Structure 1
Amino acid sequence: MAGRDIYCTIPVKGGCKMLLNDASGYVRPGLMVLMGESGVGKTMLPNTLAQRIYFGEVTGNFLVDGMPLPKSFQRATGFAEQQDMHEPTATVREALIFSALLRQPAETPLDDKYDYIETIWNGLNQEQRKRLTIGVELASKPRLLMFLDKILTAFNVVRFLRKLTNSSQASLCTIHQPSTVLFEYFDDLILLKRGSTCGRRSLQGNPNRKEKDWAEVWLNSAGHANHVENINQPITARLSQTSENQIDDSREFAMPW
């Protein structure tokens, strides 16, 4: 998935507030971590990418395989929210089954859905709500991308995510103050700064760090130019391909009435 020139503005008392300012980037297969200071937009960016902003104004280009988002985008992605909201009377297995039955495509055999639930079930701890939140989203078997908002920094949770990405599941998560050990499990790092997106490479090998406006440094760096090229190149390549390998599913919901 790629996003270009993304702006997000919401109404506030006395006017409006811009929460995302000309953000551009892409998510590729692997485990990507999103970090930044409090209030910088670590929750807003994944929500915007996942098309979960229902107020204010969002502009920009959102693409999958170089094409506009399909109608099935929301159900083809998972989103583990910061708050763990579950039906208190349901068992862990029942929560997973409910998600799989309603959110996996209607043509998927019932036995396959139950088998997939057992695969997820074996990797979960019944006492940890966060794992259930992740598991419920995985039960829908998202084909495109998995978003995770402020996941726990517990070693076992991150290791579990690493195992998923090794099975070709693309994931983007936000996290607070991970340890050095946890950093080793991530493939890519996105740093957010108030006003724009900031890349890690632009911070390396530069003295006088406290005297720099890193957003400006990033925008004028070779790393930013390369970043833009990395966004545009696969989009152009995908558009030049035939439609055989592109997503062909315009259904908004997985199951019929």
Structure 2
Amino acid sequence: MGVITGSMFVNGAPLDDSFQRKTGYVQQQDLHLETATVRESLRFSATLRQPKTVSKQEKYDFVEDVIKMLSMEDFAEAVVGVPGEGLNVEQRKLLTIGVELAAKPKLLLFLDEPTSGLDSQSSWAICAFLRKLADNGQAVLCTIHQPSAILFQQFDRLLFLRKGGKTVYFGNIGEQSQTLLSYFESNGARKCGNDENPAEYMLEIVGDESTDWFGVWKGSEQAETVEREIAEVHRHKEGQQQNGDDDPTAHDEFAMPFTAQLREVLVRVFQQYWRSKHTNGDGPPTIRDMC
């Protein structure tokens, strides 16, 4: 409802067509071509989404690194299949993340509820892996709903929104969530118990409409600090953008030219059709079938 206004910048420059190719987006649903293998799915992403200045062999070598990184060696040659057959839930989620990592996102890896549908052990494995990526310099932005206390501690910063997209907190979580808890407690919230999950605590506090936490945030010192930090980052990156030498193809919408896209997609479609015919027991397809 309503109208949202503002400006979006990347490295000090307005958002352009290249933003999507420089960003990895891990969907909540694990959607993959059921007739392809895990390795083929990763190679397809790497081939079309990494820059054309990178050779195919380099892209394939990076795919092998991703397979090792995600510990997918045991099922790298497995066919994805349909839900209930083929890869299990955790393996599908790993493949979903792997497909985006294979693209080598330059700016950001965004994940939409990566622990959805997973048990506690699998959720921990996914979050621990994201923690490892962040520690090695990959920017990770992740949405998560009601995490356990141990998962919540894997994140560095929190953007907490209430109904209507209103910000009630944006900043560091802190060791044992102390930075976050101190903010709410210093603004009149009850003290969080030692045995409480900080994530559930803050949802309960903000759900109490007796306090306008959106108004509290707007008038807080923390909000002013965030605004100053954003302005400073923008000024710093803007100067880098103006002074740095930029790749002439860096702002193109697609990483690979149309002919390369057409070739890879045609091979993938023909391969899918061939395997589908064999899987259904109808025999190999004819040229007329493919046309």
Q: TM-score range by the shorter chain?
A: 0.7 to 0.9
* TM-score (normalizing by structure 2): 0.65
CA contact 1:78–1:137 (8 Å) conserved in 2: yes
1:184 partnered with 2:165: no
Q: CA deviation at 1:239?
A: 2.4
Q: CA deviation at 1:207?
A: 2.5
Opposite residue 191 of structure 1, the aligned amino acid is F
Whichever structure has more strand as a proportion of its residues is 1
Opposite residue 139 of structure 2, the aligned amino acid is A
1:164 partnered with 2:133: yes
Unaligned 5+ runs, structure 2: 76-87, 171-179, 190-204, 259-291
Q: CA deviation at 1:244?
A: 4.2
1:62 partnered with 2:62: no
Query: Structure 2 CA distance, aligned partners of 1:229 and 1:256?
Result: 41
Opposite residue 184 of structure 1, the aligned amino acid is Q
Paired position in structure 1 for 2:21: 75
1:204 partnered with 2:185: yes
Query: Structure 2 CA distance, aligned partners of 1:131 and 1:113?
Result: 19
Q: CA deviation at 1:58?
A: 6.0
Opposite residue 187 of structure 2, the aligned amino acid is N
Opposite residue 147 of structure 1, the aligned amino acid is F
CA displacement, residues 5-27 of structure 1 (integer Å, 9 cap, x when unaligned): xxxxxxxxxxxx24xxxxxxxxx
Opposite residue 81 of structure 1, the aligned amino acid is Q
Paired position in structure 1 for 2:272: none
CA contact 2:25–2:110 (8 Å) conserved in 1: yes
Paired position in structure 2 for 1:251: 252
Paired position in structure 1 for 2:78: none
Unaligned 5+ runs, structure 1: 1-16, 19-56
Q: CA deviation at 1:242?
A: 5.9
**Identity of matched residues, %:** 44
Paired position in structure 1 for 2:227: 228
Query: Structure 2 CA distance, aligned partners of 1:191 and 1:147?
Result: 16
Q: CA deviation at 1:176?
A: 2.0
Whichever structure has more helix as a proportion of its residues is 2
SS in 2 for 1:60: coil
> Who wins on radius of gyration, i.e. which is larger?
2
Of 81, 98, 104 in structure 2, the residue corresponding to residue 135 of structure 1 is 98
C-alpha RMSD over aligned residues = 2.0
Query: Structure 2 CA distance, aligned partners of 1:194 and 1:58?
Result: 15
CA contact 2:110–2:142 (8 Å) conserved in 1: yes
